[in-house]
A and B are shown apart, each in its own frame.
Chain A
Amino acid sequence: GAVVSQHPSRVICKSGTSVKIECRSLDFQATTMFWYRQFPKQSLMLMATSNEGSKATYEQGVEKDKFLINHASLTLSTLTVTSAHPEDSSFYICSARGRANGKLFFGSGTQLSVL
């Protein structure tokens, strides 16, 4: 299957700092990327949909000023958690949809821990 690379895999930061997570599609062009958050033993929660060259579409309840998404190219989307707080601690996963078949492939995830 297609490869989606996500970095970093783990981040520990102090409250109030900002954290940037990168998501890259390595062997295909991703017109759309999705960002999910997952709490322990819960399912994926879609945060936002990111289309290349346009503003991200956020799901209800997700603060766009707190979770900044940039999709500057067909292979790269970034999520920046601004002024992180302990309640932002979670597993963040990106996914990318290829042009051809519509299948969704996931990055390896980023475990964010805010102290």
Chain B
Amino acid sequence: QKEVEQNSGPLSVPEGAIASLNCTYSDRGSQSFFWYRQYSGKSPELIMSIYSNGDKEDGRFTAQLNKASQYVSLLIRDSQPSDSATYLCAVNIGNFNKFYFGSGTKLNVKP
């Protein structure tokens, strides 16, 4: 079992809709959770970080964490074509020196 799992997609949503990206993790000792956006041929860019159960909102992005169920999600409201990218979920397990990445979910926002 992989430490972090994501559906590879592609996830297609129309412009203006809400895109929902999900991620599950295996280690209950995980402490920090991150969402990165990666455009083709570019390096990942940090979008959100979340450390405690519940929701965290930043602009059009909302990260949701449920430690009991071991999942973290990212909601993108009012999706734009420029949001089309691969979204990577990352989990920091145990200590700050281990980050595990999911395989990424490809999002396509259609105009």
Which residues of A come within 8 Å of B, CB atoms?
1, 6, 32, 34, 42-44, 46, 49, 51, 91, 93, 97, 101-109, 111
Contacts and interface: CB of A to CB of B under 8 A. Distances in A.
B102 A107 contact: no
Given A42-B103, A102-B32, A107 B96 contact: no
A34 B43 contact: no
Contacts of A44: 44, 88, 101
Given A44-B88, A102-B92, A49 B44 contact: no
B46 A105 contact: yes
Given A42-B103, A43-B103, A106 B43 contact: yes
Contacts of A104: 34, 46, 90, 99
Interface string B19-60: 000000000000010101000011111100100000000000
B84 to A, nearest CB: 15
A103 B49 CA distance: 8
A1 B44 CA distance: 13
Nearest to B31: A102
B69 interface: no
Nearest to A45: B101
Contact of B88 (A1, A6, A43, A108): A43
A46 B90 CA distance: 12
Contacts of A101: 49
Contacts, number: 47
A108 B46 contact: no
Interface residues of B, number: 21
B108 to A, nearest CB: 14
Contacts of A109: 42-43
A106 B102 CA distance: 16
Nearest to A104: B99
Contacts of A108: 42-43
Contacts of B41: 91, 111
Contacts of A1: 46
A89 to B, nearest CB: 14
Contact of B96 (A42, A102, A105, A111): A102
A32 to B, nearest CB: 6
